[in-house]
Structure 1
Amino acid sequence: MLSEPMINRLNEQINLEMLSSHLYLQMSSWCAYKALDGCSALLSQHADEEMAHMRRLIDYLQETGGLALVGGMQAPPKEFNSLQEMFEKVYAHEQFITSKINDLVHLANTEPDYATLQFLQWYVAEQHQEEFFFKSILDKITLIGLEDRGLFWIDREIAALAASGSKEVTAIESTPQI
């Protein structure tokens, strides 16, 4: 059985994962509105992934006798000054989520709650991958730039990343080149 502090922190993480999903879904919509189809597809996929992270936490709470609590939240931001600013916010958000996962790991380690500690290792590895992934997108934006046709090329690069992660986005690859 989980301790009350662990149940509370896992519930907090459930709601942070839901917030992440909503944030990326809103960003996906902003990108679609700006005709950045590749970025929109990638962020939509990422929103689904974050929802899966939330469900994984809910399942763990239920398996261990805890009550999952899904709360309300504020709407995520809907406007961004640039694609770079938006991805900087994604990267900062992922760093924040990593810090929250690390707090959970610390709690599991100090209680000690070895089952939860083992469960959380997947999230530790996932957060490392996500930070690396979004940092690489920011690096591509810096390398290519957003002037002239840079925005077009960035969107194509991100479309390729999205296509490699899901079959739903393969139509983007077959779009005629300009």
Structure 2
Amino acid sequence: MLTESMLKAINEQLNFEMYSANVYLSMSAYFKRNALNGFADWMKLQAQEEFEHAMKIFDYISAKGGKIEISSMDAPQSEWTGPLNVMQYTLIHEQEVTNRINNLFQIAHENNDHSTSVFFHWFIEEQVQEEAQVNEVIDKLILVGDSSHGIFMIDDKMGLRTNAV
């Protein structure tokens, strides 16, 4: 059984994962509008991954007998100044996800809730990969600067992603 504080925090994360999916869909739409289909496809897969994370949390709450609370959410940002700006925003967003997951792990630890600690350990490992991927793209975008040729090369590579990580 989940404590009230643990359940509240997990429900908040469920809703934040849903919001994250919307953030990445908005980024995908931005890239589509700007003829960067590789980035757009990458972000669409990222949105799918965030939705899958939300469903994983949804199923966990249900399995633990908790009440699932779905809340409304604000519309995400929809305009950026270019691919580097989007990816920097993505990194900030992923760092926020990491902070939230770490907080959930800490709450579980403080409540001696071992099953929830184990559950969120998977997310901690996932966040290491998430941030590393985004940092790699940022590094490449910084290297190519304003070169449209370089940006299109990165866009092509981004389009090679075939599934959610």
Identity of aligned residues (%): 34
Greater C-alpha Rg: 1
Q: Deviations over 1:147-168 (max 9, x none)?
A: 24222112112123x24x37xx
1:90 paired residue number: 90
List gaps (5 residues or longer) in structure 2.
none
1:36 paired residue number: 36
Alpha-carbon distance in 2 for matches of 1:116, 1:110: 11
1:19 paired residue number: 19
Tell me the amino acid that sits aligned with residue 27 of structure 2: M
Give 3-state SS (helix, strand or coil) of 1:15's partner.
helix
Alpha-carbon distance in 2 for matches of 1:148, 1:106: 44
Alpha-carbon distance in 2 for matches of 1:67, 1:137: 39
Please report how far the alpha carbon of residue 144 of structure 1 lies from its aligned counterpart in structure 2 after TM superposition: 2.3
Please report how far the alpha carbon of residue 122 of structure 1 lies from its aligned counterpart in structure 2 after TM superposition: 0.7
Tell me the amino acid that sits aligned with residue 81 of structure 2: N
Tell me the amino acid that sits aligned with residue 51 of structure 2: M
Alpha-carbon distance in 2 for matches of 1:73, 1:112: 31
Tell me the amino acid that sits aligned with residue 142 of structure 2: T
User: Which shifted more, 129-138 or 142-151?
Assistant: 142-151
Matching of residues 10-159 of structure 1 within 5 Å: 10-159=10-159
Extract structure 1 runs of 4+ deviating beyond 3 A.
none
Please report how far the alpha carbon of residue 27 of structure 1 lies from its aligned counterpart in structure 2 after TM superposition: 0.4
1:15·1:54 contact (CA, 8 Å) conserved in 2? Answer: yes
The higher relative CO (CA closer than 8 Å, separation ≥ 6) is in 2
Alpha-carbon distance in 2 for matches of 1:148, 1:44: 22
1:174 paired residue number: none
1:176 paired residue number: none
Give 3-state SS (helix, strand or coil) of 1:149's partner.
helix
Q: Deviations over 1:59-114 (max 9, x none)?
A: 00000010111111110011111110010000110001000000000001111100
Alpha-carbon distance in 2 for matches of 1:51, 1:34: 25
Alpha-carbon distance in 2 for matches of 1:105, 1:148: 42
List gaps (5 residues or longer) in structure 1.
167-178
Please report how far the alpha carbon of residue 34 of structure 1 lies from its aligned counterpart in structure 2 after TM superposition: 0.4
TM-score of the aligned structures, taking structure 2 as reference length: 0.96
RMSD of the alignment, in Å? 1.1
Alpha-carbon distance in 1 for matches of 2:152, 2:77: 24
